[in-house]
Amino acid sequence: MYHTHSKREFSIGFQPQMQILRPSIHSRRANLMVKFQDLYGFAVEGNVDDVNILNEVREKVRQQGRVWWALEASKGANWYLLPHVSSLTEGIALKSSLKLSTLTNAITLKRLIRKGIPPVLRPKVWFSLSGAAKKKSTVPESYYNDLTKAVEGKVTAATKQIDHDLPRTFPGHPWLDTQEGHATLRRVLVGYSFRDSDVGYCQGLNYVAALLLLVMKTEEDAFWMLAVLLENVLVNDCYTNNLSGCHVEQRVFQDLLVKKCPRIAAHLEELEFDVSLVATEWFLCLFSKSLPSETTLRVWDVLFYEGAKVLFHVALAIFKMKEEELLLTHHVGDVINILQKTTHHLFDPDELLTVAFDKIGSMTTNTISKERKKQEPAVMAELDQRLRRLNSVKMDDDK
């Protein structure tokens, strides 16, 4: 039963097709709001300018697709993986040229990924480069099917929360919001909750897993992408019960905002605006609830290759893009409105990623790791104090 689910390709009518969007003449003349479906089946509402941007972006994706296919034709289907040396003698002979070849491939690949992986190649490239394929290869082939069978019918706090969140995960989507979509998403989330009991299930993972299901070819591949994301790509403890990792990320982001966007940070401090009001959802859902899906997946292209530092680049870029507007705000609500409107209509991923990497400046993984270590003691002390207060209140109530 489960084998057929995990191995089959999803026969979903919205499999990525790069059609041109054509608003009516009346809509174009009046610049009215128009509704349409994006590549992954999500209902989108925007004006004609938004549609024009999307069409331009899709044309760039087509062009990128031709570049990727040309590389596959000339270098081989898996050219983006590290070169394999078949013997020690060959390795010694080719040592210098191999280093150069590897470096050239890495630079080429980094640039290509930042420009976007073609939707049709995205499942294969993600699965290889993220480490998901390697992780899957370390367990028996039947691991996922055995796991889903073993946990069937079991009830935990995690499964109860998952069942509660299923109908609230992208409601109205033509596949996710169906009985089959709910059942598939449930198997992935419940399966992972038993694989890693420390994480179990955290709200936010439902959106991440749902989008992975739309991208990957099989349910099982989506499960392994979720596993590598939580176990290797993102910071530890981001999704545990006390969300300690997420709290650390918010403090790191606040510090980075001060360093990278000092004018914005100073103004927000005057307004007593806490960046976690918007950034918590960004980091927990990896922008899947905030950005249009086609833009989110461009962010994920880079995330799976360059790591969690990408989330900071993108979050800072969103603030940076609206710097002048944000500096004119007088109320916390105005800040939230500007940021929400910006993210919901960010149909041009190239604009976002250009700001994220060219205007924000370099941030190494090592630098961010040091920032995390600096923030961890304060976060743990704060969480410990909060827990003591809760226990104190509970003891008073029990008296």
**Window from 30-34, 42-46, 246-250, 277-281 with minimum mean pLDDT:** 30-34
Q: In this structure, what is the dihedral angle of CA atoms 210, 207, 137, 302, given to the nearest 10 degrees?
A: 110
Distance, in Å, from the CA atom of 211 to the CA atom of 288, rounded to the nearest integer, reads 7
Q: What is the pLDDT at residue 226? A: 98
SS (H, E, C) 143-209: HHHHHHHHHCCCCCHHHHHHHHHHHHCCCCCCCCCCHHHHHHHHHHHHHHHHHCCCCCCCCCHHHHH
DSSP state of 230: I
pLDDT of residue 14: 46
The answer, yes or no, to whether residue 213 has pLDDT greater than 90, is: yes
What pLDDT, in 10s, does the model give residues 161-186?
Answer: 999 999 999 999 999 999 999 999 99
Give the mean pLDDT of 145-165. Answer: 97
pLDDT digits (tens, 9 = 90+) for 17-45: 556 555 544 444 446 788 888 889 999 88
Across 196-215, average pLDDT: 95
Q: Is 368 exposed, middle or buried, given 0-12, 13-18 or 19+ CB atoms closer than 10 A?
A: buried
Cα atoms found within 13 Å of the Cα of residue 177, Cβ hemisphere only: 11
Whole-prediction pTM = 0.88
| pLDDT at position 27 | 46
Domains of the chain, CATH where assigned: 131-233 (1.10.8.270), 242-398 (1.10.472.80)
Please report the pLDDT score of residue 255 as a whole number: 95
C-alpha 282/C-alpha 236 separation (Å) is: 17
Confidence bin at 239 (pLDDT 50/70/90): confident
For the ranges 77-81, 178-182, 291-295, 318-322, which has the lowest average pLDDT?
77-81
